[in-house]
């Protein structure tokens, strides 16, 4: 038996589903996950010695690739000085200064340990600042697993949402309203019905969790106008897009300034870091300055912050984004050509170095359209690529990521594998 198989059997005996995060269990594509032994650059190796060209990059953080030398050196040096103090350190000031200088909308920023913590804290701040209870989110957007966010659209438009997870109380779910991504009319209708109750609108400015979906021209600007007109706060969840689509994130790319921003993934360089921040007027409400409480034993952990700072230092050379754009564009073209040659209906959505190949013909502007993609074909494509040594997200509704460790030859390898895997996927229909 393969080591991954025996490890998965052991894991399922002591870990729910054998994994520490559900999407890793391959339920979206079938089969069993391989277990990773190590990574280096754009590649990872499983415990059976198989090599994979990695386009998951740990779901976004590894924009420099695996075991990037400056990151490893920074982690080793920080660890040798101690792992955690529960007291402020110089590196936390350096990280906060890096974030506030890259994001003009952020004057004060608080570090936490995950994207979930960042989003749940930003929502609490918005509710504390406005004194209002209702939150608006978008179908298909994911902001971590805080209760208020695990909801799905209720029966009617402006009526309340219902829980999308056991354990979420209905009265809490009812405080979250949902609208289709890219649909400003739906948002206007929610505000027409419930505007005085709305504390905030939270949005992934470029969606990554329904697969990659870019904002339509005017969508983000429209959210900015609507929230401002109704005294609600606009929260950009840039956990994926922060330092990914531009050094200053989607708010730099699309020139829209939110009231609060959530960050994560890349700012930890592969270690647990999240952050939320906004204007002084908003963040002055956060304890110990104000009455909105939020805390964390390992917030601003010196080793995690060292990994994040080493990553940001490399990205501060903005030529990194031209390179990421070139690599992302080449992969997009490779996937499109593969689909054309295989005669497969394919829509590739891309923003910079994050992209998704949807197995459907129509454009994909929102979650309803994404759900029309063939998850069966995606699953076959995923395994066809895996057999050819290319690791993509084990779900149609996620993003693939290119890093600075990927080479032109890597992209060509992936495009060749995609041409074969798509032909295979289409034959099995
Ligand atoms: P974490 O709590 O997983 O660090 O971050 C939650 C989160 C918040 N906001 C956005 C836009 C996110 O994408 C995420 C987490 N992303 C998922 C997959 N896209 C992480 C993978 C997983 O859940 O295992």
Asked if residue 323 and residue 423 are part of one domain, the reply reads yes
Mean pLDDT of 60-86: 98
Asked if residue 347 and residue 293 are part of one domain, the reply reads no
pLDDT tens digits for range 311-340: 999 999 999 999 999 999 999 999 999 999
Asked if residue 293 and residue 164 are part of one domain, the reply reads yes
Asked if residue 285 and residue 295 are part of one domain, the reply reads yes
Residue among 25, 111, 115 to mutate when testing ligand 1 (max atoms within 8 A of CB): 115
Asked if residue 376 and residue 299 are part of one domain, the reply reads no
Taking 70 as the threshold, does the pLDDT of residue 159 lie above it? Answer: no
Active site residue 367: no
Asked if residue 260 and residue 115 are part of one domain, the reply reads yes
Mean pLDDT of 87-106: 98
Which pLDDT belongs to residue 1? 72
Active site residue 142: yes
Asked if residue 338 and residue 254 are part of one domain, the reply reads no
Asked if residue 133 and residue 32 are part of one domain, the reply reads no
pTM of the model: 0.98
Mean pLDDT of 181-188: 98
Pocket of ligand 1 (CB under 6 A): 21, 23, 59, 114-116, 119, 142-144, 204, 208-209, 237, 239-240, 264, 398
Which pLDDT belongs to residue 146? 96
Mean pLDDT of 108-113: 98
Asked if residue 295 and residue 244 are part of one domain, the reply reads yes
- Domain count for the chain: 2
**Spatial separation of the C-alpha atoms in residues 151 and 139, rounded to whole Å:** 9
Q: What is the share, in percent, of the chain residues with pLDDT greater than 70?
A: 98
**Spatial separation of the C-alpha atoms in residues 333 and 411, rounded to whole Å:** 10
How would residue 158 be classed by pLDDT, with cut points 50, 70 and 90?
A: low
Asked if residue 227 and residue 78 are part of one domain, the reply reads yes
The CA dihedral of 179, 184, 188, 193, to the nearest 10 degrees, is -10
Mean pLDDT of 123-146: 97
How would residue 155 be classed by pLDDT, with cut points 50, 70 and 90?
A: low
Which pLDDT belongs to residue 161? 83
Mean pLDDT of 166-189: 96
Least confident of 77-81, 168-172, 306-310: 168-172
Domain that holds residue 334: 3-67+318-427
Asked if residue 144 and residue 23 are part of one domain, the reply reads no
Cα 424–Cα 362–Cα 342 angle in degrees, nearest 5 = 20
Asked if residue 191 and residue 117 are part of one domain, the reply reads yes
């Amino acid at each position: 038996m393969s080591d991954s198989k025996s490890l998965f059997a052991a894991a399922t005996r002591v870990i729910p589903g054998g994994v520490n995060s559900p999407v890793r269990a391959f339920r979206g594509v079938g089969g069993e996950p391989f277990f990773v032994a190590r990574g280096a650059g754009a590649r990872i190796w499983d415990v059976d010695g198989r090599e994979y060209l990695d386009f998951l990059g740990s779901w976004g953080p590894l924009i420099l690739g695996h075991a990037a030398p400056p990151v490893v050196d920074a982690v080793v040096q920080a660890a040798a000085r101690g792992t955690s103090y529960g007291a402020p350190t110089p590196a936390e000031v350096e990280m906060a200064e890096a974030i506030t200088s890259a994001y003009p909308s952020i004057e004060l920023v608080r570090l936490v340990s995950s994207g979930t913590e960042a989003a749940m804290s930003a929502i609490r701040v918005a509710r504390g600042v406005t004194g209002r209870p209702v939150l608006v989110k978008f179908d298909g957007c994911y902001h971590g697993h805080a209760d208020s966010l695990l909801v799905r659209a209720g029966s009617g438009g402006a009526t309340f949402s219902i829980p999308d997870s056991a354990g979420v109380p209905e009265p809490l779910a009812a405080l979250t309203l949902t609208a289709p991504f890219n649909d400003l009319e739906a948002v206007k209708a929610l505000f027409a019905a419930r505007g005085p109750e709305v504390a905030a609108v939270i949005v992934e400015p470029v969606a990554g969790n329904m697969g990659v979906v870019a904002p339509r021209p005017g969508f983000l600007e429209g959210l900015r106008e609507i929230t401002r007109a109704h005294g609600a706060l606009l929260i950009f969840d840039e956990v994926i897009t922060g330092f990914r689509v531009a050094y200053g994130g989607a708010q730099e790319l699309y020139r829209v300034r939110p009231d609060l921003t959530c960050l994560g993934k890349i700012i930890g360089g592969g270690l647990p870091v999240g952050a939320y921040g906004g204007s002084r007027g908003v963040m002055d409400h956060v304890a110990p300055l104000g009455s909105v409480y939020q805390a964390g034993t390992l917030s601003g952990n010196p080793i995690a912050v060292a990994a994040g700072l080493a990553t940001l230092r490399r990205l501060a050379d903005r030529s990194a984004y031209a390179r990421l754009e070139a690599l992302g564009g080449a992969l997009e073209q490779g996937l499109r050509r593969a689909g054309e040659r295989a005669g497969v209906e394919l829509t590739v959505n891309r923003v910079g170095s994050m992209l998704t190949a949807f197995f459907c013909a129509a454009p994909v502007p929102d979650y309803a359209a994404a759900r029309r993609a063939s998850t069966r074909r995606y699953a076959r494509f995923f395994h066809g690529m895996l057999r050819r040594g290319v690791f993509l997200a084990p779900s149609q509704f996620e993003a693939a990521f290119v890093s600075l460790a990927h080479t032109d030859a890597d992209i060509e390898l992936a495009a060749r594998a995609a041409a074969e895997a798509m032909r295979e996927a289409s034959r099995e229909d």
